[in-house]
Amino acid sequence: MYYDQVAQIDMPAWSRDRVVLIGDAAHAVSLLAGQGASLGITGAYVLAEHLSHAATVESALEGHERTLRPLITEKQQVARNGTRWFIPATPTQLRIRRTALKLARVPVIDRYVAAALAGKSTAIIDRPLGPTPPVAE
Ligand SMILES: Cc1cc2nc3c(=O)[nH]c(=O)nc-3n(C[C@H](O)[C@H](O)[C@H](O)COP(=O)(O)OP(=O)(O)OC[C@H]3O[C@@H](n4cnc5c(N)ncnc54)[C@H](O)[C@@H]3O)c2cc1C
């Protein structure tokens, strides 16, 4: 039996002046998404890349949030959408989940189930400065 409060952190901004929040403090996705540690490490990596390329700390913090926020928003939304999967409220929902998880072993269907539970796969580590990296001066 596991009994706890489940919450997400949804901050309107992740930085002010030269102070920045990363990891759960900025954007906890909750155990419903189950990728919080990975996203915290990803955020630290993206932040380090921006700090090493940007002209000022402030523009690095702005670039870090611009790059990472779409990913976090998507993961948090997927987690909220998946609440009924994670915690079925009725015996019928529980039976539907059991059937869906059995079907998840079938090739092709497994991808749909994974996408429903974890969201889109991402290659953000390959382009930590975002889709259009700033041109170095
Ligand atoms: C039940 C559960 C299951 C999870 N499953 C997964 C999973 O399968 N995969 C996954 O990737 N993630 C999972 N997570 C999420 C993951 O644990 C977190 O997202 C991750 O630990 C966040 O890392 P963090 O460094 O941002 O914060 P934390 O790990 O919370 O680290 C913050 C640290 O700061 C310290 N601290 C707090 N206040 C102060 C202070 N005033 N002064 C000094 N130190 C302070 C705390 O003691 C803590 O050590 C799960 C979480 C829960 C609760």
Would you kindly state where each structural domain of the chain is located, as residue ranges? 15-126
Which residue minimizes the CA distance to atom 6 of ligand 1?
34
* Mean pLDDT within 18-23: 95
Going by pLDDT thresholds of 50, 70 and 90, the confidence category of residue 15 is: very high
At 97, is the pLDDT very low, low, confident or very high (cuts 50, 70, 90)?
Answer: confident
Euclidean distance between CA atoms 100 and 125, whole angstroms: 31
What's the pLDDT at 120?
Answer: 74
Confidence of residue 26 (pLDDT cuts 50, 70, 90): very high
pLDDT score of 135: 57
Do the beta carbons of residue 127 and residue 63 sit within 8 Å? no
* 15 SS3 class: strand
> Is the CB of 87 inside a 6 Å radius of any atom of ligand 1?
no
28 phi and psi, to 5 degrees?
-55, 130
Taking the centre of ligand 1 as the mean of its atom positions, its distance from the CA of residue 24, in whole angstroms, is 6
* 24 in contact with ligand 1, CB cutoff 6 A: yes
**58: enclosing H helix or E strand:** helix 57-81
- The fold adopted by the segment(s) 15-126 is FAD/NAD(P)-binding domain (3.50.50)
